Amino acid sequence: MIILNIYVILNTKKYIYEKDSIPEVKKDYAIVPGAGLTKEGKPSCVLSDRLDGAIILFEKGLVDKILVSGDHRGESYSETEAMLQYLVSKNVPEDKILRDNEGFSTFETVLNIIKYHGVRSAYFLSQGFHLPRLIYTARKMKMEAFGLVCDFHKYSKKKHRLWKLREIPSRFKDFFLAIYYICTKKI
């Protein structure tokens, strides 16, 4: 499992950029995976960092549209609605925002945006610990995918350690799910 994690990290390094080193290459979409809401129904600090990353790309003209993907359990909990409202409040036109209401996991987000939205070229916005899995999965599924590290807040060391630890089995799982979908031609 550890060797596979190292393989994923090393094979995606060249596709992942910091805010100051993002190439001036236009892609079709900025993809923002969900990352939870506050008790008030607003994007968590992790999610707001991802959304701010999408705004940076949109304002630079590197993407024309932003696709938000997340959990939409109904009226009482909707990551995609909260993301839409956040982006609109930051002057992103609503007609430039698409929603995937069934992005319950990283893998499902990648699968949905390919199958239902036809996305083939995108920047993914997430934290540094998460991007290798996201980019590896998307590229394995034949998407021209790049990542922007959106670590704009200072996260607690404890949470950050837990997130990094959680990535180890998650990378393993998504690695094999991508292979399964490719081999069974479900994508």
Q: Under DSSP, is residue 7 helix (H, G, I), strand (E, B) or coil?
A: helix
The 3-state secondary structure of 156-170, one letter per residue? CHHHHHHHHHHHHHH
How far apart CA 186 and CA 182 sit, in angstroms, is 6
Q: What is the structure's pLDDT at 86?
A: 98
25-46 average pLDDT score? 95
- Judge whether residue 185 has pLDDT over 80: no
Q: What is the structure's pLDDT at 187?
A: 62
54-59 average pLDDT score? 98
102-110 average pLDDT score? 93
Residue ranges of domains in the chain, CATH in brackets: 2-183 (3.40.50.620)
45-72 average pLDDT score? 96
How far apart CA 123 and CA 28 sit, in angstroms, is 8
- Judge whether residue 160 has pLDDT over 80: no
The model's pTM:
0.92
Q: What is the structure's pLDDT at 184?
A: 83
How far apart CA 142 and CA 72 sit, in angstroms, is 27
71 beta partners: 102
